[in-house]
Amino acid sequence: MRQRIFTTVLAIALGVNLYLGARNLATSAEVRGKEDVYANMEKFTRVLETVRREYVDEDKVSYEDLVQGALRGMIQTLDPHSEYMDAKKYQALQSDTMQQFGGIGVVVSMRDNWLTVVAPMDDTPGSRAGLMPGDRIMKIGKKSAKNMSLNDAVGIMRGKPGTEVTVAFYRPSADKDLTFTFKREIIKTKSVSDLNGGGKYDLLESEIGYVRMSGFSEKTASELETALVKMEEHGLKAIVLDLRDNPGGLLTQSAYVTEKFVPEGQVVVTTEGREQRQLDKLVASGRFKERTLPMVVLVNGGSASASEIVAGCLQDLGRAELVGMKTFGKGSVQSILPLHDGSALRLTTAKYYTPKHRTIHGKGITPDHVVEMSPEQMGHLALKRSPGGLGTLPEEDRKKAEATTDLQLKKALELLKAKLK
Q: Which residues does the annotation mark as catalytic?
A: 305, 316, 330
Please report which residue ranges of 317-394 form alpha helices under DSSP H: 375-385
CB atoms within 10 A of CB 98: 6
d(CA 308, CA 269): 10
d(CA 392, CA 72): 41
Do the Cβ atoms of 298 and 244 come closer than 8 Å? yes
Query: Counting beta carbons within 10 angstroms of the beta carbon of residue 262, is it exposed (0 to 12), middle (13 to 18) or buried (19 or more)?
Result: buried
d(CA 59, CA 400): 58
SS3 283: strand
Q: Which whole-number Å values give the CA distances from 345 to 98, 153, 353, in the listed order?
A: 20, 18, 24
SS3 415: helix
d(CA 116, CA 171): 10
Do the Cβ atoms of 231 and 240 come closer than 8 Å? no
Do the Cβ atoms of 126 and 251 come closer than 8 Å? no
Q: How is 50-75 classified by DSSP, letter by letter?
A: HHHHH-S-GGG--HHHHHHHHHHHHH
